[in-house]
Structure 1
Amino acid sequence: MTDPAAGSKPQRSRPDKTMSMREAIAAHVTDGATVALEGFTHLIPTAAGHEIIRQGRSDLTIARMTADVVTDQLIAGDCVRRLISSFVGNSTAGSLGELRRRIESGELRFEEYSHHGMICRYLAGAQRLPFYPLRSYAGSDIPSVNPDIRKVTSPYPASDGGAEQIYVVPPLNPDVTIVQAQRADRFGNAQIWGLTGIQAEAVYAAQRAIVVVEEIVADEVVRSDPNRTAIPAHAVDAVVECPGGAHPAFVQGYYDRDGEFYREWSRISGDPERLRDWLDEWVRGTEDHHEYLAKLGTQHWDLLAAGEAWSEPVNYGRRL
């Protein structure tokens, strides 16, 4: 620390927020909580979902724009009471067997929005607004199945001078948001490239946030490329290094999507007994995600290797 008497301000120490996945889930995910799991197409926090199952969390409300394989697994693990989502499915590969069974049986409460409706809920939550207006529900039947999608009268006159009715959605403020990113420093400054999704807004909307990354890098790496910092440290409560943590989804620049797994999942989740056996073997029967990947095998993992496509560096400039 610099001596204040020397004429420079003392540097405040910043907390190291690194935790193991087990520690982060134990500290921040409690029974009955509302948990947002966000990441669009890539950067899906699968390993975090598996740890929630291992720790036996229950009665959760899960918010996820694209409820997919990890959502199906959490439901099958008896962790979920309510689901808030838009798209639901095993992308390009089929259905989510357990999710469908529980919705049809009435065991799972499902609150449906459009993608844009979910985005607006996170935006309202992040900005601490009472609601967020959107036009895209005009002509849709989604409001008929979701009473929380409502209409208000605009305080401003329409172009024809009349009073305009517009749809609004309520804010979404999760107890904890869990997102995936490519890298972060030990303080939680998380950097993302490729599809960025709604991760930053979901983090700001939440009371607490866990960021799972492929690697924790030196402070200098993050400072050298600040525009990639999608989520700043002050919004993060825990940062977890978990290589391969998005599998079977992909992480841009690190590994590819496991299409074989997605195709097989439709068959696994379509059979309740086979699904229970899979969870017992691959999730509850593994100590952590490292053991899960070891069980998957290096040969299988090598097939998912991503080729190189480097971005050109930029000159941020500095005072001479």
Structure 2
Amino acid sequence: MPEIILTLVAETADAALTAKAAAASGDALRALGARAGEPDWLAPNQACDLFFEGPEPDGVATAVRHSLAERLPHARLDVFVQRAEGRRKRLIVADLESTIIQNEMLDELAELIGVKAKVADITRRAMNGEIDFVEALKSRLALFAGLPEAELARAAAKIRLTPGARMLVATARAHGAAVALVTGGFAYFVRHVEAMLTFDAVVANDLVIEAGKLTGEVREPIVTKEGKETALRRLAADRDLPLSLTLAVGDGANDVPMLKVAGLGVAFHAKPAVVEAVDNRIDFGDLTGLLYAQGFRAEEFVRE
């Protein structure tokens, strides 16, 4: 029977907590009918693997997460479950905003011109899946019609990388994986992120700028949730990779289709609609959780 792996990652190293959590996770797996082994520590006192045989992976992470919440209610623990075969991925596809960077760039731009509350509300509803992404994008962009292009640079100066992003990209690429950004955000801001991180491919939307000013429009075709899934499939096919060797990460409702088709789809500090749809997720830790999920040990991380 093929082995399955549960990876447990604590937000911070804590010997007592992680030992208790590893034991509790083993108990939860056995309650599901699994035969679980002993913890294999990927990072002392912070991250470990539990190999097991038994139930299919679907739903196991959620079940273990619920069990841990009952037994260790104040613990901040992330849980991943997947098959052992093909665990270390060859293609990582990441969303940009609120994933690789901490910002939502239209919200940052809106703050500069005094319409942040209005734009942020539309962003929130779109990322929760309450309104159509394209509709939300167009309605937000219309508010910026006539804005000087120079204001984009002011917004870009506020970009903050998400903790763990630099280590994730550097480690993955150093071990032979391709890393791509696939975003419904804008190529203008991606270029600023590319000055900090190296990506193998980028898929993004383009703002329409005429005579040095934003027109309030975006060039077609717009990168939608369907477009993100299509991009992941194309990027994998271009590299002759099966989808099982891909990893996708994102936070919003427009990321769900690509998260579901990837070999490992991970919701990152995600909106409620995404949490409901995706079994593997990072609720507490940073992006290095994606490295532990692939079986990287702490000493393998590339620290630039």
Please give the TM-score of this superposition, normalised by the length of structure 2: 0.32
Please give the TM-score of this superposition, normalised by the length of structure 1: 0.30
Report 1 or 2 for greater relative contact order, CA contacts < 8 Å, sequence distance ≥ 6: 2
